Chains A and B, each alone.
Chain A
Amino acid sequence: MSRSKNHVPGEVGIWIFILGDMVIFGLFFLVYVYYRGLDIELYRQSQLQLNQHYGALNTLLLLASSWFVVMGVEKARQGLGQKAAPFFASALACGLGFSAVKVVEYGEKLAADITITSNDFFMYYYIFTGLHFLHVVIGMGVLTFMILKTRAKHFQSNDMIMVESGASFWHLVDLLWIVLFPLLYLMP
């Protein structure tokens, strides 16, 4: 299927939100890296207390969910709403998996008495991952909406723009985590 070079995925308005969020998170990243440079030992020691496997597992879960969403969009675009819905449901399952890992991770940290006020690193850790998690929760709501839309008997091509908007938002959730993961868990 050939598409023109001038197709904005989803409605134009969603891109105000997506680009706006990218700018804000970009600012978050820079603030974090700047302050990290001032006290690198503290950040490094604190980073070692994180479980890298949780971060990596969550990256893989979000990447898988994004793939499911791409495939769902492809099916919906062919007018096969019924076949698109299971893909979006799989993406939602990955989102739930991400949430479960996050809850376990937060639980372990809190049980070890590591909170938002423990030190500067954990302040950023809780706030950035928390705001990102808020995006995941909103995104799972969006995926649910997309499942309902595509399962409906009268799925029409003008519902497609909603599906594309939702898909773009879900990919944003993935994209932000791709940068948060090395910044918080891996950076030397």
Chain B
Amino acid sequence: MDCSLLKHPATLIWALLMLATALSWGLGADSASSGNGVMGLTALLMAIAFIKVRFVIQYFMEVRHAPLALRLVCDGWAVLVCGAILVLVWMSPAA
């Protein structure tokens, strides 16, 4: 095993992604018992998910080295889908 792999930026990103997954996992487990703060918890879970998505796109798919158009489309997708999910949850009768 050579050390250069561990120093690679993707390795740090990967560690962060694993941590974020553990965090969501814990939050999800809590949500089973507590009934309040639906909107806040949803927003937190979605924020974590789409930050993870952006890391995957930028560092794993290497879109950060890609032309501006591709970067904009990818970021636009993440913002739009995440935003629309939150708006739909917020507008739903239960929230």
Contacts and interface: CB of A to CB of B under 8 A. Distances in A.
A91 to B, nearest CB: 11
B85 A30 contact: yes
Given A5-B65, A69-B60, A186-B31, A19 B73 contact: yes
The secondary-structure label for the interface of chain A is helix
Interface in B31-54: 31-32, 37-38, 41-42, 45-46, 48-50, 52-53
B3 interface: no
A120 interface: no
A105 to B, nearest CB: 16
Interface string B14-25: 100110011011
A39 to B, nearest CB: 9
Interface string B42-82: 10011011101100110111110111001001100100110
Nearest to A168: B61
Interface string A45-72: 0001000100010011001101101110
A71 B24 CA distance: 26
A37 B67 CA distance: 38
A181 B49 CA distance: 9
Nearest to B36: A188
Contacts of A63: 14, 17-18, 21
Contacts of B10: 67, 70-71, 74
Contacts of B92: 33-34, 36-38, 40
A163 to B, nearest CB: 12
Interface residue range, chain A? 35 or more
Interface residues of B, number: 52
B57 A37 contact: no
B84 A40 contact: no
B65 A3 contact: yes
Contact of B77 (A19, A69, A171, A182): A19
Given A37-B88, A67-B10, A178-B52, A188 B65 contact: no
A126 interface: no
B66 A6 contact: yes
With most chain A CB atoms within 10 A of its CB, the pick from B37, B41, B42 is: B42
Interface of A: 3-9, 15, 19, 22-23, 26, 29-30, 33-34, 36-38, 40-41, 48, 52, 56, 59-60, 63-64, 66-67, 69-71, 74, 164, 167-168, 171-172, 174-175, 178-179, 181-183, 185-188
24 contacts: A5-B67, A7-B62, A7-B65, A29-B85, A30-B84, A30-B85, A33-B88, A37-B89, A37-B93, A38-B92, A41-B94, A56-B21, A56-B25, A60-B21, A70-B60, A74-B5, A74-B8, A172-B61, A179-B49, A182-B28, A182-B46, A186-B24, A187-B31, A188-B45
